[in-house]
């Protein structure tokens, strides 16, 4: 029979929310496993300047902040494994987490899988991904040195990344479906003052054009109906995120694009299962709020374990 390892708390995902949880659960002497399929740190690893996380008056680079969190979580005993969770099942208080490499059990599972970039789902996008279509300016910006590029989206991610990308490119055009940005005002001000940036309003990218690599985009003005084919060397897409909740279909009424509902203690409708950070419905999706979610869930989990023990449910 397969060797099943037992923990008090299993964290699915290894972003900032999960690391905050782990620091607290380990300090409460709960045996904690963190399962992360890609890299510890989550979306913040591919963020350059983090200027709004308290305690860093001059800002901090995303990779440095997450590395500090990882070290802190490990210092208190968090066990981190690079494995992808494929299923989660519940049998009373016992939760079984199956990964691509093993099977683990715990009374508490904290869901912290974060989110992946949402796609535009227009012709050319899939075929040209990695050949001029990118979802990460921080990772790919330097490859577009001297080129003219488009950024799609008007949120804080789009504008933060666009400002970073202008360090490399010749010219950057933001295409936004409305006539006002959603991004934080301080970012908007910086963008409007950036001489390399211009804006196409009320418009969507209808297709990304090119054979072997991106050669241009077709833009549709939603107000006038006018379509324009514009040349470019790259398209960066930042139109929101999609939570990684697909494997939970058996437990919650979620599909691949849905968030998980949780109460003020971050507990879901299943006793002992918590949801934090970008997977949680109505999250504000900030590093600070993710950390707050993580700490809240960790403290609630401690209470839950004590309660389970008091009722004789746990040995
Ligand atoms: P977001 O705030 O949801 O913005 C997504 C943007 O994409 C919106 O402008 C939206 O347009 C547009 N959009 C969505 N679907 C589209 C489509 N199919 N075609 C064209 N445009 C589309 O997502 P985000 O920018 O990734 O930010 C996520 C969260 O992280 C937010 O809470 C944000 O505040 C936070 N964040 C904060 C910072 C920071 O504080 N510096 C940096 C990055 C992210 P509409 O505006 O018309 O809806």
Distance 29 CA to ligand 1 centre (A): 38
CATH of 4-116+241-310, one of 3.30.70.260, 3.40.1360.10, 3.30.43.10, 3.50.50.60: 3.50.50.60
Q: What's the rounded Cα separation, in Å, for the pair 48 and 311?
A: 48
284 CA: nearest ligand 1 atom:
32
239 CA: nearest ligand 1 atom:
7
Which mean pLDDT values do the consecutive 10-residue runs of the chain (315 residues) have? Answer: 88 98 98 95 83 94 95 98 96 95 97 94 96 91 96 96 97 98 97 98 98 97 98 97 87 74 96 96 91 98 95 76
Q: Is 206 exposed, middle or buried (0-12, 13-18, 19+ CB in 10 A)?
A: middle
Instruction: Return the residue whose CA atom lies nearest to atom 14 of ligand 1.
Output: 239
Distance 181 CA to ligand 1 centre (A): 9
154 CA: nearest ligand 1 atom:
9
Distance 113 CA to ligand 1 centre (A): 19
Note the residue count of the chain.
315
240 CA: nearest ligand 1 atom:
23
Contact yes or no for 143/116 (Cβ under 8 A): no
Distance 204 CA to ligand 1 centre (A): 14
Confidence (pLDDT) at 257:
64
**pTM above the 0.95 mark?**
no
Distance 300 CA to ligand 1 centre (A): 31
- Cα-Cα-Cα-Cα torsion 137, 143, 144, 145, nearest 10 degrees, comes to 120
- Pairing, β 148-152 against β 171-175: parallel
Instruction: Return the residue whose CA atom lies nearest to atom 15 of ligand 1.
Output: 239
Assigned token pair, 203:
């418009």
Q: Do domains 4-116+241-310 and 133-237 have the same CATH topology?
A: yes
Q: What's the rounded Cα separation, in Å, for the pair 236 and 238?
A: 7
Q: What's the rounded Cα separation, in Å, for the pair 29 and 159?
A: 42
Confidence (pLDDT) at 255:
55
What is the DSSP-derived secondary structure letter of residue 161?
H
Query: Ligand 1, residues 45, 49, 153: which to mutate, most atoms within 8 A of Cβ?
Result: 153
Ligand 1 pocket (Cβ < 6 Å) reads 52, 120, 152-158, 160, 177-178, 182, 184, 204, 238-241, 284-286
Confidence (pLDDT) at 274:
98
Confidence (pLDDT) at 258:
85
Tell me which fold the domain 133-237 belongs to: FAD/NAD(P)-binding domain (3.50.50)
Give bridge partners of residue 205 from the DSSP assignment. 219
Contact yes or no for 198/171 (Cβ under 8 A): yes
Helix (H, G, I), strand (E, B), or coil: what is residue 179?
coil
Each domain of the chain, given as residue ranges in start order, spans 4-116+241-310, 133-237
Instruction: Return the residue whose CA atom lies nearest to atom 16 of ligand 1.
Output: 239
Distance 91 CA to ligand 1 centre (A): 38
């Amino acid at each position: 029979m397969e060797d099943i390892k037992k923990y008090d708390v299993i964290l699915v995902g290894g972003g900032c929310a999960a690391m905050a949880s782990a620091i607290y659960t380990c300090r409460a002497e709960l045996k904690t496993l963190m399962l992360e399929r890609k890299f510890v740190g989550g979306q913040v690893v591919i963020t350059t300047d983090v200027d709004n996380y308290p305690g860093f008056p001059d800002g901090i680079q995303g990779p440095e902040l997450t590395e500090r969190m990882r070290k802190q979580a490990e210092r208190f005993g968090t066990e981190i494994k690079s494995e992808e969770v494929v299923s989660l099942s519940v049998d009373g208080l016992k939760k079984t987490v199956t990964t691509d490499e093993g099977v683990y059990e715990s009374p508490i599972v904290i869901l912290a899988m974060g989110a992946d970039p949402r796609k535009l789902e227009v012709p050319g996008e899939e075929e040209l991904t990695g050949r001029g279509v990118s979802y990460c300016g921080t990772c790919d910006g330097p490859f577009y040195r001297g080129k003219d590029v488009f950024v799609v989206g008007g949120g804080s991610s789009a504008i933060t990344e666009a400002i970073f990308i202008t360090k490399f490119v010749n010219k950057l055009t933001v295409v936004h479906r409305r006539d006002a940005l959603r991004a934080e005002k301080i970012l908007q001000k910086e963008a409007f003052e950036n001489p390399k940036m211009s804006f196409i309003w009320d418009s969507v990218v209808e297709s990304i054009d090119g054979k072997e690599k991106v050669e241009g985009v077709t833009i549709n003005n939603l107000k006038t109906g006018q379509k324009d084919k514009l040349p470019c060397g790259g398209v960066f897409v930042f139109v929101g995120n999609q939570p990684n909740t697909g494997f939970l279909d058996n437990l919650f009424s979620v599909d691949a694009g849905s968030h998980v509902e949780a109460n003020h203690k971050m507990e879901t409708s299943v006793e002992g299962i918590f949801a934090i950070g970008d997977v949680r419905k109505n999250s504000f999706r900030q590093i600070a709020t993710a950390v707050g979610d993580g700490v809240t869930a960790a403290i609630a989990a401690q209470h839950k374990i004590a309660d389970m023990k008091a009722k004789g449910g746990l040995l």
